[in-house]
Amino acid sequence: MPEDKQFMQNVLNFFQHSSKEELQKMHNEVGLIGSDVSSKWFKGLIETFL
């Protein structure tokens, strides 16, 4: 469990320190990958920080 908590903290730090331009680029690129569940989840995560 501590590894999971650390992973989520690392993800949070990554997104909080990304610029709006970087986040928008990631969001657009994930949209090109497809529309499966993981892509939708990841796009939703990015949108949280946009």
Q: For residues 37 and 5, what is the distance between their CA atoms, to the nearest angstrom?
A: 23
Look up the pTM and report it. 0.69
Predicted local confidence at residue 9, as pLDDT: 92
Average pLDDT over residues 22-50: 87
- Asked whether residue 13 carries a pLDDT value surpassing 70, the answer given is yes
Q: What residues contact residue 27 under an 8 Å CB cut-off, 6+ apart?
A: 43, 46, 47, 50
Domain ranges of the chain: 2-49
Indicate the pLDDT class of residue 1, thresholds 50, 70 and 90: low
Contact 39, 33 (CB under 8 A): yes
Predicted local confidence at residue 36, as pLDDT: 84
Of all residues in the chain, what percent carry a pLDDT higher than 90? 32
